[in-house]
Amino acid sequence: MAVSSSSFLSTASLTNSKSNISFASSVSPSLRSVVFRSTTPATSHRRSMTVRSKIREIFMPALSSTMTEGKIVSWIKTEGEKLAKGESVVVVESDKADMDVETFYDGYLAAIVVGEGETAPVGAAIGLLAETEAEIEEAKSKAASKSSSSVAEAVVPSPPPVTSSPASAIAQPAPVTAVSDGPRKTVATPYAKKLAKQHKVDIESVAGTGPFGRITASDVETAAGIAPSKSSIAPPPPPPPPVTAKATTTNLPPLLPDSSIVPFTAMQSAVSKNMIESLSVPTFRVGYPVNTDALDALYEKVKPKGVTMTALLAKAAGMALAQHPVVNASCKDGKSFSYNSSINIAVAVAINGGLITPVLQDADKLDLYLLSQKWKELVGKARSKQLQPHEYNSGTFTLSNLGMFGVDRFDAILPPGQGAIMAVGASKPTVVADKDGFFSVKNTMLVNVTADHRIVYGADLAAFLQTFAKIIENPDSLTL
C-alpha cells in the first residue's frame, strides 16, 4: 500500500486481486469535496463525502480539576496573525494560576470571540483558527454570528483534561457531513426494532431523529401511522414555582449606606467552592505541644545555607507520615479510601487576592537543602501566578503555618480529597514541668491537626503527632 499525504487530504491506492480503489479531490475556498470511485464488478457503489473548510475553534481549556470557567488575561497574538503549532496564543487566568494556552495547529488567528478581561466556561470557544488567509473572512462572519446568538444555544464539545504544560486548547475541526448513496448501516434502539417487526415497517426506510440519526420507537410509530405511546414521550418538566418578592428579600440583609459589592475572583470562587465542599466531611481535631529548642538551634545553623523553617516542618511532617500512612490516605467517594503512594506536602501560601497551596512532592525523600530550594521556586511561581496544575493539585497532606504572625494556635479547614491538615502556631517561651516536678522555660509550639474521621481515628492521629514531636525535638534526622 502506497500512501501520500498533504496538510489536509490523504490519497491512497490499494491493489489486490479483486478491485482497485482510487479517489480524486477538488477544493474550493469554502467547500472541499472528495469523490470516491471504485472499479469493482456490478455490485460496486459510489460514495461522495462533503467536508467543510478547516476553521477550528480554540476552546477554553480546563487548567485544573476544579476549574469551571477561565478569564482571558491577554491575547498574545492579534487577529490575522499567523500561528505555528505549539505557539502560545492567549494567557488564561484559572482558579489557581495564569497559564499560556498553545495551539495544536498551524494557521491564522482569524477571530477573537472572548476579549481580554472577559470570562468563558470551560469548553467554550474563545477564538477561531483559519487554515488559510482566504478563510479569515469566513471565520470572522462565523464569529459575528456566534456573538449575536444566545450562549445557551451554542453546543460546544468539552476539551480533554490537561495533562501537560503549558496548557493546550484543543482546536477541533468543523463537523464532517457524509453523504452516501450506497448501503448504510441502520442504527436503531432494540425497542424500535421490535416495534418495526410488530407493525411490519421497513426499518431501513425510517428516518431516525435520535442522536447521530439513531432510530427511536417514536420514529417507527410515526412511520406506521400510529400515535406514539405514552412511554416514548417524556413528560414535560413541571413549571418552576413562582418567585415572590418576599422570598428574594427576606433572606438577605439590606446593604449599609455607601456599601459596595465586590464579585469573587476566579481564585476566590474556587476557595469558596472547596470550603463549602469540605463541610460535608466529618472531621475532628487533635492538638499537641511540641518543644522546639533543638529545632530552633538547628534552624539557626542551616538558615545561612538557604534552609527555611517551612522546609524543616514539611520534612518532619513527611517523615512522620511515612510511619503513619493512614494519615496520608484520602477518601474521595465516601465508600472507600486509598493509601497514597507518595507523600506530597501542600503548604498554604497567602497571595494577593487569595490562597494557594504549592506542593512539595516526595517531601519525605528529598534532601533538606533541595527541599528548601524547591520551596523557594514554588513560592516565586505562586506569587507570579505561574504554577502548573501538578504543582498545586497533587497534595496528599496540607501544612498551614501562621507562627510567623505570632498566632499561638488555630484550626485549619480540611481540603477536599485529603485525609488531614496540620495548623502550626508560633514557638513561644513556656513554663513546663518535667517528670520529677521541676519547672523550666522551654520554647513550645502548638500544632493542631484536623482529620477526616472516616479514615483517620483518634488513636491514629495521636500516634502521628507523637512521632512528629519526637522528630522535631530530636531533629538530627532531618539533615540526613
Tell me the pLDDT of the chain (480 aa) as tens digits. 444 433 333 333 333 433 333 333 333 334 344 344 444 444 444 444 444 557 888 888 877 666 778 888 888 888 888 888 888 888 888 766 777 888 878 888 888 888 888 888 888 888 888 888 777 877 777 777 766 553 444 444 444 444 444 444 544 444 444 444 444 566 777 777 878 888 888 888 888 887 667 788 888 888 887 755 544 455 555 555 555 544 444 577 788 888 888 888 877 888 888 888 888 899 999 999 999 999 999 999 999 999 999 999 999 999 999 999 999 999 988 889 999 999 999 999 988 778 889 999 999 999 999 999 999 999 998 888 888 888 988 999 999 999 999 999 999 999 999 999 999 999 999 999 888 889 999 999 999 999 999 999 999 999 999 999 999 999 999 988
- Per-residue pLDDT, 148: 59
Q: Virtual CA dihedral for 105, 110, 115, 121, nearest 10 degrees?
A: -50
Q: Do the domain assignments include residue 464?
A: yes
| pLDDT confidence of residue 249 | 45
How many angstroms separate the CA atoms of 8 and 53, rounded? 10
The whole-angstrom separation of Cα 328 and Cα 346 is: 12
Contact 178, 50 (CB under 8 A): yes
Residue 80's region, left for phi above 0, alpha for psi from -120 to 50, else beta, is left
Q: Is residue 373 part of a domain?
A: yes
d(CA 219, CA 197): 13
Asked if residues 314 and 345 have their Cβ atoms less than 8 Å apart, the reply is: yes
- Cα atoms in the 13 Å half-sphere on the side-chain side of 402: 14
Q: What is the DSSP string of 38-92?
A: E--STT---EEEEEE--EEEEE----STT--EEEEEEESS-TT-EE-TT-EEEEE
pLDDT value at position 361?
95
State how far the Cα of 59 lies from the Cα of 456, in Å rounded to an integer.
Answer: 41
Q: Rounded CA gap, 417 and 397, in Å?
A: 10
In a domain, residue 227? The reply is: no
In a domain, 274, yes or no: no
User: Is residue 34 within 8 Å of 51, Cβ to Cβ?
Assistant: yes
DSSP secondary structure of 375-406: HHHHHHHHHTT---GGGTS--SEEEEE-GGGT
Cα distance between residue 89 and residue 126, in whole Å: 11
The Cα angle at residue 451 between residues 448 and 452, in degrees rounded to 5 = 165
> What pLDDT is recorded for position 283?
95
Strand, helix or coil at 261?
coil
In a domain, 8, yes or no: no
Residue where a domain terminates, one of 145, 167, 196: 145
C-alpha–C-alpha distance, residues 90 and 72, integer Å:
7
Bond prior to 166 in cis (omega within 30° of 0): yes
Pull the grid cell for residue 240: 418552576
- 90 lies in which domain range? 56-145
Which residue from 450, 444, 372 is spatially nearest to 403, judged by alpha carbons?
A: 444
The distance in angstroms from the start CA to the end CA of the chain is: 62
Q: Which residues of 255-271 are buried (b: 16+ CB within 10 A; e: fewer)?
A: eeeeeeeeeeebbebbb
In single-letter form, the type of residue at position 371 comes to L
Q: What is the domain-level CATH number for residue 137?
A: 2.40.50.100
- Distances in whole angstroms, Cα of residue 380 to Cα of each of 187, 235, 271, 403: 56, 56, 21, 21
- Sign of the C-alpha dihedral computed for residues 361, 365, 370 and 373 taken in this order: positive
State which of 145, 170, 192 marks the end of a domain: 145
Identify whether 45 is a catalytic site residue.
Answer: no
Question: How many CA atoms lie less than 13 Å away from 386 in the CB half-sphere?
Answer: 7
| Residue count (the chain) | 480
3-state SS of 311-332?
A: HHHHHHHHHHHHHCHHHHCECC
In this structure, what are the phi and psi dihedrals at residue 205, rounded to the nearest 5 degrees? -95, 0
Residue 232, C-alpha cell as written in the block: 416514548
Query: What CATH number is attached to the domain comprising 373?
Result: 3.30.559.10
C-alpha cell at 363: 517531601
The residue annotated as part of the active site, out of 199, 324, 390, 453, is 453
Exposed, middle or buried: residue 365 (CB in 10 Å: 0-12, 13-18, 19+)? middle
Q: What's residue 430's pLDDT? A: 93
Predicted confidence at residue 131, as pLDDT, reads 81
- Residue whose cell numbers read 492538638: 287
**Number of domains composing the chain:** 2
Cell matching residue 142: 462565523
In a domain, 64, yes or no: yes
CB neighbour list of residue 82: distance below 8 Å, 6 or more residues apart:
107, 108
Residue 205 CB burial class (10 angstroms; 0-12, 13-18, ≥19): exposed
Domain boundary pick from 94, 129, 145: 145
Contact 183, 45 (CB under 8 A): yes
As given in the structure block, the three cell numbers for residue 63 are 487548567
Query: 222 lies in a domain?
Result: no
**Residue 180 falls within a domain, yes or no?**
no
What value does the CA radius of gyration of the chain take, rounded to a whole number of Å?
A: 31
